[in-house]
Copies of this chain bind each other. A is one copy, B any other.
Amino acid sequence: MSLTISALLPLALHISFTFALDNGLAITPQMGWNTWNHFGCDISEDIIMGAAKAIISNNLTRFGYEYVVMDDCWQAPARDPGTGAPVADPTKFPNGVKALSDEIHAMGLKFGIYSDAGTYTCGGRFGSLGYEEIDAQTYASWGVDYLKYDNCYNEGLAGTPKISHDRYANMSRALNATGRPILYSMCNWGEDGPWNFATTISNSWRISGDIHDDFDRFDERCPCTTILDCKLPGFHCAMSRIIDFAAPVGQKAGPGHWNDLDMLEVGNGGMSFDEYVTHFSMWSLLKSPLILGNDVTNMTNETLTIITNKALIDVNQDSAGSPANRLWKRAIAVGGDLQLWAGSLANNQFVIALLNTSPNGQTVDVEFSDVFVDQGPAYQQGTYTVYDLWQKDSTGQWGKNVGTFTGAIRRVQIG
């Protein structure tokens, strides 16, 4: 499904800039775990600490997973009536957020929190609109390292890039003003084109409605066919649809400012092993943040195999920070389509993916004239060593050497 090409040609010069929020974070896409996809609103100190311990015990930190993010529903019914500061639910978090954060830090992990650029959060707790400064200060005092910032109940403050930008920039400034580096993960579902306006105010921005743990089923609750001017991002967006959404906006991401394709569903049960492989591969190639969304205290070997594929994670964390591009998408008669993606990595390496959403296996030629459309004739006529990132080679390393090729890679088996 995914190949890295080690090119034998001289290095090409690459330019890469970093203009994200000036906090030095997310130079590569952030990695971690978030409560929402598996636990929804039913969270507590115990659940979060359980996950943190499982991250450690499963050695996930070795692969880069470091942020433990507490999503919606951590809040008490109301802010502190005196100060207006945010307050956590005392039942779910009897020791407070600071204690939880300290524990997580003590384990060598980082701690993330959630709020919403509106009157209420999506789960109906108090939102941060109009409370940006006190909330940012409180988060900093709690040792928060990461903020996921949602878009519900925004009082109509959307509809032009300027309105959306200004609402989200308020929190960006407030976070910076704390002096604590806090990764700022915008979640406005792609409204008004954050890939255009958010690169300098955030470390990542969601591009669509919420992911659903499904391979490619169309759901009317995720109604838009493109995200470029979507008036209802919705939710229940199948994994493959988010890949479609991401195709045109990859060009806007880079070190410190990423397109967020939403949290991973790997291990949540709605897709087959092969489908989760596709999911994890494409999130990696598209340089999406890799935020696990499953129950890490209870994982199958299959799940663990996928989320710890070092070769794919290396692609995601590659220093060039360049999302793969879709070279073509071809409809298949029996339904679904076939897609060729390719991306540049550092050290003159490249990654290729063939994505097949049809029900059958497909055999196809990958032409180097397509793969290297940006690099030109010299690359298109080159000779390459090809690895398969889903098989280990004889030395036990990810990436099995499957041969040396010139020109097209003929008869690639996809499935």
Contacts and interface: CB of A to CB of B under 8 A. Distances in A.
A228 interface: yes
Nearest to A166: B156
Q: Would you list the 4 A-B pairs with minimal beta carbon distance, nearest first? A: A156-B165, A17-B124, A156-B197, A159-B160
Nearest to A194: B156
A interface majority secondary structure: loop
A206 to B, nearest CB: 16
A221 interface: yes
Interface of A: 13, 15, 17-19, 40-42, 119-120, 123-124, 153-166, 169, 192-193, 195-197, 199-200, 214, 217, 219-221, 223-224, 226, 228-229, 231-232, 234-236, 247-251, 269-270, 325-326, 373-374, 376-377
A197 B232 contact: no
Nearest to A228: B231
Q: In the complex this chain forms, how many copies of it are found?
A: 4
Contacts of A376: 269-270
B248 A196 contact: no
A64 to B, nearest CB: 26
Contact of A220 (B18, B41, B166, B247): B247
A190 to B, nearest CB: 11
Nearest to A17: B124
A223 B251 CA distance: 11
19 contacts: A18-B124, A19-B120, A120-B200, A153-B199, A155-B197, A155-B200, A156-B160, A156-B197, A159-B161, A160-B160, A195-B232, A219-B373, A220-B247, A221-B248, A221-B251, A228-B232, A232-B248, A269-B376, A270-B376
